[in-house]
Each structure stands twice: as structure tokens, then as C-alpha cells.
Chain A
Amino acid sequence: MKKFVLFALLATLSSGAFAHSRIDKTTPENGAVIAEAPAEISFSFANDIRLTRVDMTHADHPPVQLDLGSQKSFGRAFKLPLESMGAGSYLIEWRGLGIDGHAMQGAFKFTVE
């Protein structure tokens, strides 16, 4: 029976997408290949959220937490300055709080040639 409970839990976990992470648009776009690292990154969300943490991982380096600066209120569009780390892949991972109290998270990546 314990296995049955575990199975039910795993079956439902594996069948669904992680909740409430609806992002409309990012700049650069997810998967973009660009010539130069952008001076800033931006996010647009379908609904109001409050960003709580954004991490950048460049190539094989450890993640760096980006300063949210004044972007600490609920909104749909956010811009954060980005320090160029040169060529390579950039992974941006974000977390936030929806106005309804749902925790949200997501990620996008781009490559600088």
C-alpha cells in the first residue's frame, strides 16, 4: 500500500508541468544566439508578479545572483542590468511571487558568440 501511495504521487508529479510559471517574453529570447552580451535583460509576464531572485550562470562558472535594484514591486515587465562575462552560454533563472500568492519560477538561456 505504501508503494501504491508513492506511485500515485509520482504518477501525478510526472504528468504535469511545474505550476504557475507563465512568462510571455524575454530579451534576449530563450535559445537566442547573439553577437554581443546585452547590457540588460528583460522579462514580461502575463500577470503581475514580484521578482524575488534572479541568478545568472555563465558557461561552467558558479551562478551569480543579480541585483534586483529598484525592481522590487509587483509588475509585468522588469529590466535588470547584466555584466558581460564574454562569449559562451548564459542561463538566467528567476523566481517570483504571483499576486495571488503562488510561487513562480522559470529559466531561459542564450548564447553569446
Chain B
Amino acid sequence: MPDIWGQAAILAKFLLYIGALGATGLVIVRIVFAGPTALVAERMRKQALGLAALTLVAAGLGFMLRGAALTGGADGMTDPEMLGLLWQTPVGDVLLYRLIGAILMIAGLLIPHSGQWIALVGGLLLLWSFAQIGHVRDIAQTGVRLLLLLHLVGVAFWIGVLSPLHRLSRRPDHLSHAARLGHLFGQAATFIVPSLILAGLVMGWMLLGTPTALITTGYGLALITKIALVAGVLVLAAANKLRFVPEMQAGNTNAARHLAQSIEIETTVILAVFATTATLTSVLTLPN
């Protein structure tokens, strides 16, 4: 069990995942599905702004908490020697990526029209930062880092559609837009979900080495927890695609209400996936 600073670092990373993946996802969905999301575009922009600000805070806090972990006390959070030491390691590089990424995202979201492309670059920089540190970096292969980036872009896209789809589904007068967005996302998910699973399996195999490590190591067990949670999300997503969205296309407002409820559960399970991943990447050692 990590100490208080280790636990706080996990919480900061959890918030960082929500901020970075949520903001990037909203920007991607706004670009890819501009038509069906037009009614909630301004709300999506404000949400992305809030999540980008959360990313800035979580990245800075996470960096300072690493300083605290080095001294075992709150003094480490502002100790110039400790923070200077961290700055010289990949932790410093990653902080720089995240600060630039979040600032680009915020700036892009404040500029009308073409600003969304600046925000997208900021978002991709944020996602790329996750491949520059941690266990995937440890296995030091550019291909695996690109695989992680692909995995994260897929996850962000998925998360990014939840809020606008939820919002539209709760408004009976927006039913046709909700049905259209749900349908288009369902089509995209046909490609995204297998890619996500494949990328996850390949990375899991490369990190663990053997299938037995799945059940004989803490890292493997945490990975199983994550896989089980993701499987739960997939079941919900399948129900959305195969049942609720077709009924919504047929004009059934009750189906839209069910979809909104399904999205709320999906969001909660995704938060559990984030919590597991934050733990997995913070306190559990890789086998070998």
C-alpha cells in the first residue's frame, strides 16, 4: 500500500486521465461529428475548456506530489532541489508536454473556427505525453508508444461522444440528432473497438511477457480487473448500438431515456477503468 503521497499521486493521475482524455475526446468528436453535435457545440467547448484546465492543475499537482514522495513530506512539493531533480528526468519532459498541450488546447478552444485544430494538436500532445513515461516507455520501442497513442486516441474518441450523446438523448426535441450521433458513432465503433482491444492485448502481452503473469502477479491481476471493467463497458456499448439507437431512429423517445441511463452507467465504469489504470501505472511493478 503506498503512503499518503503515493495515494495522492494516484488521485492526481486519475484527474489527469479525466482531463486529458475527456478534453481531447470532446475536440475530436466536435471535429468528426460537427453536424450531429451542432446543437451542443458551445456546451462541448466549455466542457473541454474546463477539462483542459483540470489537466493543467492535475499535471502540476502530480509533478509536485512526486517531489513530496522524494522527501516524505509536504515540504517536497515546493522544494527547489527536489523539483529541479525531477525536471531533469522524463518526469520533467512529460510535464512540459502536458503544460504545452493543455495551453494549446485552451488557446485553441478560445479561438473561433480554426482554433479547433490548434486544440486538436494540444490534445494529441497530451496523449503522446503518456507514451513518454511509465511502463510502456520502459520497454523502449517506438512501435509500442505509437500503439499506446492509437489506444488513447480511440479511448478519447469514445469518451468524447458520451457527454453530447447523453445531452441530446435527454431532450425529446433533439431525438433525431441523438439518433444520428448514436448511429454514426456506432459505425465508427465497429472499427475503433477491435483496434482498442487489439492494441490493449498487444501492449499487455509485451508488458507481461507470459499469460501466467496475468494471474501470478499484482500487475496481471490489476490488468484483469481493467479488462473485466472494459468488458462491462463493451456490453453496455453493444446494447446502445444494437437496441437503443435503432429504436431512437424509429422515433422512440423511451429508448433515448434508456440510452441516457446506459451512458451514465458507462461513464461510471469508465471512471473505474481510469482508477485501475492510475493504480496500475503508479504503484504496481512490471513482472521482470
Any A CB within 8 A of the CB of B91 = yes
Chain A 49-63 per-residue mask, 1 if CB under 8 angstroms from chain B, else 0 = 010110100000000
Complex-state Cα separation, A50 to B71, whole angstroms:
12
Complex-state Cα separation, A5 to B265, whole angstroms:
12
Complex-state Cα separation, A1 to B269, whole angstroms:
8
Within 8 A of A (CB), among B248-288: 265, 268-269, 271-272, 275-276, 279-280, 282-285
Any B CB within 8 A of the CB of A76 = no
Any B CB within 8 A of the CB of A19 = yes
Of A5, A15, A105, which contacts B268 at CB under 8 A? A5
Interface centre among A8, A55, A96 (most CB of B within 10 A): A8
Indicate the size class of the contact surface on chain B: 35 or more
Any A CB within 8 A of the CB of B82 = yes
Any A CB within 8 A of the CB of B193 = no
Report whether A12 and B222 are in contact in the complex, using a CB–CB cutoff of 8 Å: yes
Report whether A95 and B70 are in contact in the complex, using a CB–CB cutoff of 8 Å: yes
Complex-state Cα separation, A15 to B1, whole angstroms:
9
Query: Smallest CB-CB separation from B66: which chain A residue?
Result: A103
Complex-state Cα separation, A50 to B89, whole angstroms:
11
Chain A 1-23 per-residue mask, 1 if CB under 8 angstroms from chain B, else 0 = 11011001101111111111000
Within 8 A of B (CB), among A20-59: 20, 50, 52-53, 55
Any B CB within 8 A of the CB of A77 = no
A47 to chain B, nearest CB (A): 11
Report whether B285 and A19 are in contact in the complex, using a CB–CB cutoff of 8 Å: yes
Any A CB within 8 A of the CB of B115 = no
Any A CB within 8 A of the CB of B90 = yes
A53 to chain B, nearest CB (A): 5
Report whether A101 and B86 are in contact in the complex, using a CB–CB cutoff of 8 Å: yes
Q: Known: A52-B71, A95-B69. Is A15-B133 also a contact (CB below 8 A)?
A: no
Within 8 A of A (CB), among B51-94: 66, 69-72, 76, 82, 85-86, 89-92, 94
B residues within 8 A CB of A2? Answer: 268
A residues within 8 A CB of B275? Answer: 5, 8-9
Report whether A4 and B268 are in contact in the complex, using a CB–CB cutoff of 8 Å: yes
Report whether A12 and B138 are in contact in the complex, using a CB–CB cutoff of 8 Å: no
Q: Known: A4-B272, A52-B71, A95-B72. Is A18-B279 also a contact (CB below 8 A)?
A: no
Report whether A12 and B276 are in contact in the complex, using a CB–CB cutoff of 8 Å: yes
Complex-state Cα separation, A97 to B70, whole angstroms:
7
A residues within 8 A CB of B172? Answer: none
Within 8 A of A (CB), among B107-123: none
Report whether A15 and B91 are in contact in the complex, using a CB–CB cutoff of 8 Å: no
Q: Known: A5-B268, A96-B70, A105-B69. Is A16-B218 also a contact (CB below 8 A)?
A: yes
Given contacts A16-B218, A16-B285, 18 further A-B contacts (CB under 8 A): A5-B271, A5-B275, A8-B272, A12-B221, A12-B225, A15-B221, A15-B222, A16-B222, A16-B283, A17-B285, A18-B283, A19-B284, A52-B70, A95-B70, A95-B72, A97-B89, A100-B137, A105-B69
List 29 A-B residue pairs with CB atoms under 8 Å apart, sorted by A's residue number: A2-B268, A5-B268, A8-B276, A12-B221, A12-B225, A12-B276, A15-B218, A16-B221, A16-B222, A16-B283, A16-B284, A17-B284, A18-B283, A19-B283, A20-B285, A52-B76, A52-B82, A53-B70, A96-B70, A97-B70, A98-B89, A100-B89, A100-B138, A101-B89, A101-B91, A101-B94, A103-B6, A103-B66, A103-B69
Using a CB–CB cutoff of 8 Å, the interface residues on chain B facing chain A are: 1-3, 6, 10, 66, 69-72, 76, 82, 85-86, 89-92, 94, 133, 137-138, 218-219, 221-222, 225, 229, 265, 268-269, 271-272, 275-276, 279-280, 282-285
